[in-house]
Chains A and B, each alone.
Chain A
Amino acid sequence: MHFSIQNILFLLVAAAGFGLFAWQVRKIRANILVGRDRDMSGNVSERLNKTLLVAFGQQKMFKRITPALLHLIVYVGFIVINIEVIEIMIDGLFGTHRALSFLGPLYSALVGTNEILGALVIVAVAAFWWRRNVKGVRRFTGPELRMWPKMDANIILYIEVILMVALFLMNASDLKLHQMEGQDLPGAFPISSLLTGLLPNNVGALEILERVSWWAHIVGILAFLNYLPSSKHFHIILAFPNVYYSRLVPQGQFSNVDSITHEVKAMMDPSYQVPAPATNPDGSAMAPTPFGAKDVNDLAWTNLLNAYSCTECGRCTSVCPANITGKLLSPRKIIMDTRDRMEEKYNSPLIFQPNLYGTEAKHAEQEVLDKENHTLLRGYVTPEELWACTTCNACVEACPVNINPLESIVEMRRFLVLEESAAPNSLNVMFSNIENNGAPWAFSPSDRFNWADELYVAEKA
């Protein structure tokens, strides 16, 4: 143990890094909790099972094999490298050197695996970069993916490469130092050992290189951690709770609006007791909640959690029949808009305000947005987008982290219809047909049985 000023410095840096991260997470949590309450308790084993399969097991990723394999490398690499981060933390705080090396062969296996995964991560990241920037996979384009979201995706790829390179430089210089001093360095270094030849044969320079890359690695990780809350890469954390809290009912089952049920029951049966409206803590009646959703706080907290878990992968949009055939609707955009709106309305500045950069560009192709009513509906999402949805659930099925864009779409449609009576005219015709004729078409209810007339014409004649 060589306790030094470096350890105090490290303590400060680490505390600042984690503290800042906690502060950001609190803000995000507060944003999510502005959503409407929804009881998601119970069904623990079913939920855990789902989390295990979909989040840990990457089940839905494997609908597309190439990105799934690449993603798996980065994902497993991330988990294993985190074990090494524990060691770095211990070394940094207590001035030890490779504190976990007492594990012996297990340690060698760990470090060796880590190195191989690190190299694979670089390969995977390069492939990701190529798919995104050169090959131009369709779902990585689209109006909602300009400016910041596009940059964000690449920034993470660069950070990942920098972290891996720092790891290799650290290991390689450490290894060479030990070699030059004729000592054995615990661990196995299948990749770094190939790099030692490229390093200077100067002990002083190596010591500096080892320290610099050690610091680069850990500071890089802390910076990465604090970058996450501003980035779509926050999904590496929120994917798990998001899948845990995903819907367990059939996808075709839309939520029931209980307040309407009370009204309808009261209409049909005058003796029906409508439950008393909820009260504020001081006993006064609470302002009635609107039907459906106009702004983010009208959505359920799970919908808001969805927005922070979105990886912006566009799998939803790429299977959306409306989007495929050129309509404005993009389920990914609905989700991204929800997040942008939360950060605009509530605890916006995380460390910086990336999600709001380039919103102009994002909306460029849409109808002029209503700046007065700057809410999620109309301020971000236009009725035209909402009415293009066929409620086909393809987006829900496709999302690798079980996000449900359809729920938010339906909530906003409910607001348009029930609060603003702003449905397209042809739908209003359909509504009045149902009211008057009991069918969405203008047919007389007395013709309902006519199909039977021709059933056995031959016999009847």
Chain B
Amino acid sequence: MSNLAAAGEEPEILFWVGCAGAFDDRYKRVTRAFVRILEHVGVKYAVLGMEETCTGDPAKRAGNEFLFQMQAMQNITTFEGYGIKKIVTACPHCFNTIKNEYPALGGNYEVIHHSTFLQQLINEGRVGVAGGGEFKGQRITFHDSCYLGRANNIYEAPRDVLAVLDADLVEMKRSKANGLCCGAGGAQMWKEPEPGKKDINVERTEEALAALDGNAAALHNLLGVESGNAGATPAPRNAQQGSIIAVSCPFCMTMMSDGVKNKERENNVQVFDLAELIATAEGLNA
């Protein structure tokens, strides 16, 4: 960003990478995939690089309002310095915080989550599936992130993005407004879970696997699912066939990947972010 500013240029959007996108090895791949898409469609974007710092979301959810506000003020000062108006991010936590909580501290921006952004690119015909049919016949299930879905009512954008892949999309039993948390939100990412019967991400992964496998019996064995709100069970499928859990949040990515490992299904179930799926379908992730 400082380079652009020095050159007297204004970016269309600021791509807010987020701490996970910058430091988490797995999520760095998503950051790169998204950047490749941005370059592919020729959007003039900027990143803050080392001038970025944590939005303060984990501090705020954990109750450390003081630390949150320190972080927020610092970021707002940076944004104001560059005259930022429009921010795109791949992290629903950053998205929610900047969009909903910064205004009370004086930071008002147009904030877009990358699922919405990708949906717009697709609607405008700027992204298609040039790579073609890469995911044809693959079964994909989307895991709703709480901070995208319930927190901000974004349910359709990620599904619209997946729809262009020509894959076999299935819904988990608990999805959209009824989706089950991956277990990482609210600063849980940084601590051991409280004692219980099971870790939340394992429960959620079991649900995803049941949907991917079309395994009705497994669906009914999930904890706390009342028979009353049963959705349609997808057609049964050989558990050896490759399938994908699609996510759109770095924390969900970690939790679902761990869950898949816990269930020893890494060989045929992969966890991908929407940006990676689109970049691959476009042949950009070569």
Contact = CB atoms under 8 A, between A and B. Distances in A.
A394 interface: yes
B167 interface: no
A291 B228 contact: no
Give the bracket for the number of chain B residues in contact with chain A.
35 or more
Contact of B58 (A384, A418, A434): A434
B112 to A, nearest CB: 14
Interface in A437-452: 438-441, 443, 445-452
Contacts of B36: 455
Contacts, number: 229
Interface stretch (B5-13, B14-22, B234-242, B262-270): B14-22
A252 to B, nearest CB: 3
B223 A260 contact: no
A301 B117 CA distance: 39
Given A252-B100, A326-B197, A390-B183, A260 B69 contact: yes
Given A434-B56, A434-B58, A324 B224 contact: yes
Nearest to B93: A252
B203 A321 contact: yes
A329 B53 contact: no
Contact of A390 (B65, B100, B200): B200
Given A390-B146, A392-B146, A427-B191, A440 B64 contact: no
Contacts of B197: 325-326
Contacts of B67: 431, 434-435
A393 B151 contact: yes
Contacts of B193: 325, 327, 388
Given A439-B19, A440-B19, A423 B63 contact: yes
B105 A261 contact: yes
A252 B152 contact: yes
Q: Of B22, B62, B147, B174, which is in contact with the most chain A CB atoms at under 10 Å from its CB?
A: B62
Contact of B62 (A329, A392, A423): A423
Contacts of A325: 183, 193, 196-200, 203, 223
A440 B190 contact: yes
B100 A439 contact: no
A260 to B, nearest CB: 5
A391 B60 CA distance: 11
Nearest to A455: B32
A448 B186 contact: no
B104 A390 contact: no
Given A438-B53, A439-B22, A392 B104 contact: no
B64 A449 contact: no
A430 interface: yes
Interface residues of A, number: 76
B153 interface: yes
A74 B156 CA distance: 36
A299 to B, nearest CB: 14
B150 A397 contact: yes
A234 B152 CA distance: 31
A107 to B, nearest CB: 39
Contact of B60 (A254, A291, A324, A384): A254
Nearest to A137: B226
B194 A387 contact: yes
B35 interface: yes
A438 B54 contact: yes
B153 A250 contact: yes
Given A324-B203, A448-B49, A449-B50, A391 B100 contact: no
A63 B228 CA distance: 9
Contacts of A445: 50, 53
Contacts of A326: 195-198
B185 interface: yes
26 contacts: A63-B229, A64-B229, A137-B226, A252-B150, A253-B101, A253-B151, A268-B73, A321-B203, A325-B193, A329-B194, A390-B181, A390-B183, A390-B186, A391-B187, A392-B185, A394-B146, A397-B150, A424-B191, A427-B62, A427-B191, A438-B53, A440-B190, A448-B23, A452-B35, A454-B28, A455-B32
**Nearest 9 A/B pairs, CB to CB:** A252-B151, A326-B197, A391-B186, A413-B63, A438-B53, A326-B196, A253-B100, A392-B181, A324-B224
Interface of B: 17, 19, 21-23, 28, 31-32, 35-36, 47, 49-50, 52-54, 56, 58-67, 69-71, 73, 77, 96, 100-101, 104-105, 146-147, 150-153, 174, 177-181, 183-200, 203-204, 223-224, 226, 228-229
Given A257-B65, A265-B73, A390-B146, 9 more contacts: A250-B151, A251-B152, A260-B66, A319-B224, A322-B194, A326-B195, A391-B187, A417-B62, A424-B191
